[in-house]
Amino acid sequence: MNAHEKPQAINAGALYAMDKKVYPQAVSGRFRRIKWAFMAVALGLYYLLPFVRWSRGVGAPDQAVLVDIPHRRFYFFFIELWPQEVYYFTGLLILAAFTLFLLNAVAGRVWCGYMCPQTVWTDLLFAIERWVEGDRRERMRKDKEKLTLKRVWELAAKHSLWLLVAWWTGGAWVLYFYDAPTLVRELVTFQAGPTAYIWIGILTLTTYSLAGHMREQVCVYMCPWPRIQAALTDEWALNVTYRGDRGEPRVSAKKAVALRLQGKPAGDCIDCRQCIAVCPTGVDIRQGSQLGCIQCGLCIDACDHVMREIGRPTGLIAYDNDLNAARRKQGLPDVYKLVRPRTVLYVALIVLVGGIMTYALVNKKFTGVNVLHDRNPLAVQMSDGSTRNGYSVRLLNKYGDARRFRLHVEGLEGARLQIAGEPAADRPEITVEPDQTLELRLLITAPADVAPLEARDIVVVAEDEETGVFARAKDHFFPR
């Protein structure tokens, strides 16, 4: 740097566009209807699912979806998971990741544009804002004018409705962790525990701030997915694309007609900027693929409407892949390839993981036994020459009623079993209460004539007397 040159200050506004407010305009069309449908389904499921009932028998909770932290259970309709079965949640996360990769391979950031919670709730708050304050031009005009009593009333109404939505969002989340009708009654009568109010407050604040105020900044600056998906996409992925080969050069509608009559080139884009006006992140799609584009397709609806108005073919902005722009310049037809190695691989992985989880659920056991050999001493020689080993045994009963188990040992003929505090027996019995684990001390004695001379593998078997189902656990029997 020259000694006489002054260092240039960094423009913070260029790095973080907090001073640039986006005013999305209302639009109608195919993709807007799809977004309304996704919003209705997503919000309907989220808000109403805690109130759906599912009978599980006497003494069991009847809420269809419930995270029962006090009893360490997760219920999802007919599925019941224990903390030991965390691998199911791992499988769900893997399935979600591969599904996201597949969506990206097919249509780029389609998850961001239609299904992401940030998009869904931001869309809802946008709709409230338009209903209270009016559409884009009205909101822009009102923000420039001085405050009036009417304007204060509009702002108060909007933010009150935003807070109401945010509060119910936080409240609905808490309902997944406690019986929903009971918790609603306790919340209304101020009898709920402080934890419920604290979490509702936290989630109310985050929903209100992220969906109501930060909006597109979350997608552009906070979310890591736009950075990640760029490494996962390819030239075949469908992305919202401005077809510059058809749209350029940009001229007004009247001038375009005149130029075409003269045989001169004229693009279909009339620079009406409607694609920018309707974009929830304020992106100009005509500048190409950008970090802020969430692939929602609203610019397609806006552009198609304009094309119909001026009598030009629709599809100037459309879901397209990177290959077709070059092909159109060469006069070649568009090509699309949905089935390709990348998508086949993702589908295969989804089917594989889903199949493994389904198999595990179908063959899930509701009883179990775990055995842990004593560390010291490993074995004790009794006065009659027999050898005794001690074990800690944990029996698991996932049923909603008490179960009686009969214990025996495989791999050590003539062994006698003794539960601490009870007489020895060939097949001692033990009762485990519903939804409980029971830990006991088990002594296994091998008579002198069959006591092994070296360590031997044995299997402790717990037989459910009602169902006849066996639970097994392998361990060792050590000689003295």
Main-chain phi, psi angles of 397, to 5 degrees: -125, 110
- As a whole number, mean pLDDT of residues 187-212 equals 92
DSSP string over 89-126: HHHHHHHHHHHHHHHHHHHTTHIIIII-HHHHHHHHHH
Could you list the beta-strand ranges (E) of 3-42.
none
Q: Which residues contact 427 (CB under 8 A, 6 or more apart)?
A: 406, 407, 408, 417
Domains of the chain (ranges plus CATH)? Answer: 19-229 (no CATH), 239-329 (no CATH), 367-477 (2.60.40.10)
Return the pLDDT at 129.
Answer: 95
Return the pLDDT at 278.
Answer: 94
Main-chain phi, psi angles of 34, to 5 degrees: -65, -40
Distance CA 378, CA 393 (A): 16
Q: How far is CA 473 from the centre of its chain?
A: 36
Are 187 and 196 in contact by the 8 Å Cβ rule? The answer is: yes
How many Å is the Cα radius of gyration of the chain? 33
Convert the pLDDT of each residue in 141-194 to its tens digit.
998 888 889 999 999 999 999 999 999 999 999 999 999 999 999 998 988 889
Residue 412's region, left for phi above 0, alpha for psi from -120 to 50, else beta, is beta
Convert the pLDDT of each residue in 261-291 to its tens digit.
887 888 889 989 999 999 999 899 998 888 8
Are 167 and 204 in contact by the 8 Å Cβ rule? The answer is: yes
Distance CA 430, CA 437 (A): 12
Convert the pLDDT of each residue in 412-471 to its tens digit.
888 888 888 787 777 888 888 888 888 989 998 888 887 788 888 889 999 887 777 788
Convert the pLDDT of each residue in 237-250 to its tens digit.
899 999 988 888 88
Return the pLDDT at 19.
Answer: 53
Are 35 and 296 in contact by the 8 Å Cβ rule? The answer is: yes
Convert the pLDDT of each residue in 316-366 to its tens digit.
999 998 888 888 888 888 888 889 999 999 999 999 999 999 998 888 888
- Ranges of H-type helices in 179-338: 180-188, 194-209, 216-217, 225-229, 244-247, 253-261, 274-278, 298-309, 322-329
pLDDT-derived band at 98, boundaries 50, 70, 90: very high
Distance CA 295, CA 292 (A): 9
- As a whole number, mean pLDDT of residues 93-98 equals 93
Return the pLDDT at 184.
Answer: 92
Query: Which is nearest to 111 in space by CA: 23, 15, 35?
Result: 35
Convert the pLDDT of each residue in 104-117 to its tens digit.
999 888 899 999 99
pLDDT at residue 14 tops 70: no
Give the residue with greater pLDDT, 214 vs 16.
214
pLDDT-derived band at 4, boundaries 50, 70, 90: very low
Give pairs for 327-332: CB < 8 Å, separation 24+: 328/243, 328/245, 328/246, 329/245
Main-chain phi, psi angles of 56, to 5 degrees: -120, 10
Q: In what helix (H) or strand (E) does residue 141 lie, and over which residues does it extend? A: helix 136-144
Distance CA 227, CA 235 (A): 17
Q: Which residues contact 358 (CB under 8 A, 6 or more apart)?
A: none
Query: Which is nearest to 99 in space by CA: 317, 347, 285?
Result: 347
Distance CA 398, CA 72 (A): 12
What percent of the residues of the chain are helix, what percent strand, and what percent coil, each to the nearest 5? 45, 20, 40
Q: Say which residue the tokens 């108005």 belong to.
A: 309
Are 310 and 267 in contact by the 8 Å Cβ rule? The answer is: no
